Amino acid sequence: MDRILEAVKILKESKKVMALTGAGISTESGIPDFRSDTGYYTKMDPMRALSRDVLIYDPARFYTEGYKVLEDLQGKKPNAGHIALKDLEDLGILKGIITQNIDNLHYLAGSKNIYEVHGESRSVSCMSCGKQYPFRIMEEKVKAHEVPPKCNECGGVLRPNVVMFGDQMPDTFYDAMREIEDTDTLLVVGSSLQVAPVNMIPRYVKNLIIINKETTPEDSRAAVVFHENSGETLGKIVEALR
Ligand code: CNA
């Protein structure tokens, strides 16, 4: 059977479908991923540059290196893949999205039930008093060479609300794990499934549909695998469902 029709059959017959997305769904919006041959790893080591240790002990380095990744996300627009997942939710097929992405694009596409398990880049917070600010405030401060940027209320250091290497997972991750308990089909889109603990999630779900340009460690147990572009493939799935 055609793989699109196979995927559609599984989606239609499932009791509960969730999506798990990674950086690959957003490359078509002009945001590099980490591990492709055009990804950030070819230019820098995100594990170091975007780490809690560097933020705390070498903020000047954080705000010149790791911070650039966050700046690159600003102003980007959802692509066909994000829109197709929003359509799947509207069609009543998809219950929600667990995303490793910090680029806000599912949010901007209008998806409703989103678990941003690695945080987001719409807001920042003070590490001392917890006051929240829009991301724009941090941008203005860094542009004005205020490094590290400081809280207007208490003078504490501001940090982006993204989960960095060395940070604990947020409550949202545990909420997402609860969603997975009764999920029978997971649509994995644009993730190399290399980053723990999120890469464990597919192991808890019976049916996997994987859309990722390169192979992933879960391909061998997936019901359907597409080593193709996410925007085009998801678009075809939505079309076939309609
Ligand atoms: P990754 O390890 O970089 O893997 C991305 C995968 O997507 C690769 O296996 C690619 O082959 C695949 N891919 C790339 N383009 C496409 C496409 N158009 N269609 C289908 N597949 C494609 O990224 P993961 O998300 O697995 O790793 C998790 C990290 C990356 C998380 O901590 C993220 O926060 C982090 N990240 C996020 C963004 C973002 O928010 N857009 C960007 C870069 C990195």
Pocket of ligand 1 contains residue 27 by CB under 6 Å: yes
Would you give the distance in Å from CA 126 to the centre of its chain? Answer: 23
State mean pLDDT over 63-70.
87
Query: Widest CA span of the chain, in angstroms?
Result: 62
* Ligand 1: centre distance to CA 93 (Å): 24
State mean pLDDT over 117-143.
96
User: What is the distance between the alpha carbons of residues 242 and 239, in angstroms, rounded to a whole number?
Assistant: 5
State mean pLDDT over 13-31.
97
Half-sphere exposure of 236 (CA within 13 A, CB side): 13
Q: Is 219 helix (H, G, I), strand (E, B) or coil?
A: helix
H-only helix segments in 95-161: 105-109, 135-143
- Exposed e or buried b for every residue in 177-206, given b needs 16+ CB within 10 A? bebbeebebbbbbbbbbebeebbebbeebe
- Range in 72-76, 116-120, 183-187 with the lowest mean pLDDT: 72-76
State mean pLDDT over 17-25.
98
Contact, 175 vs 197, CB < 8 A?
no
Query: What's the whole-model pTM score?
Result: 0.96
Pocket of ligand 1 contains residue 100 by CB under 6 Å: yes
| pLDDT one-digit tens code per residue, 147-193 | 999 999 999 999 999 999 899 999 999 999 999 999 999 999 999 99
Kindly state the tokens that stand for 34: 């980490």
Mutate to test the pocket of ligand 1, among 20, 21, 27, 33 (most ligand atoms within 8 A of CB): 33
For residue 68, is pLDDT > 90?
A: no
State mean pLDDT over 210-239.
98
State mean pLDDT over 130-137.
97
What is the structure's pLDDT at 232?
A: 98
For residue 15, is pLDDT > 90?
A: yes
Q: Which residues are catalytic?
A: 118
Query: Per DSSP, what are the bridge partners of residue 185?
Result: 17, 207
Task: Give me the chain's average pLDDT, please.
Answer: 95
Residue 132 dihedral angles phi and psi, to the nearest 5° = -100, 145
What is the structure's pLDDT at 1?
A: 61
* Ligand 1: centre distance to CA 143 (Å): 28
Whole-number percent of the chain with pLDDT over 70: 100
- DSSP 8-state secondary structure symbol assigned to residue 196: T
Kindly state the tokens that stand for 206: 């019976």
Confidence of residue 39 (pLDDT cuts 50, 70, 90): confident
State mean pLDDT over 201-210.
98
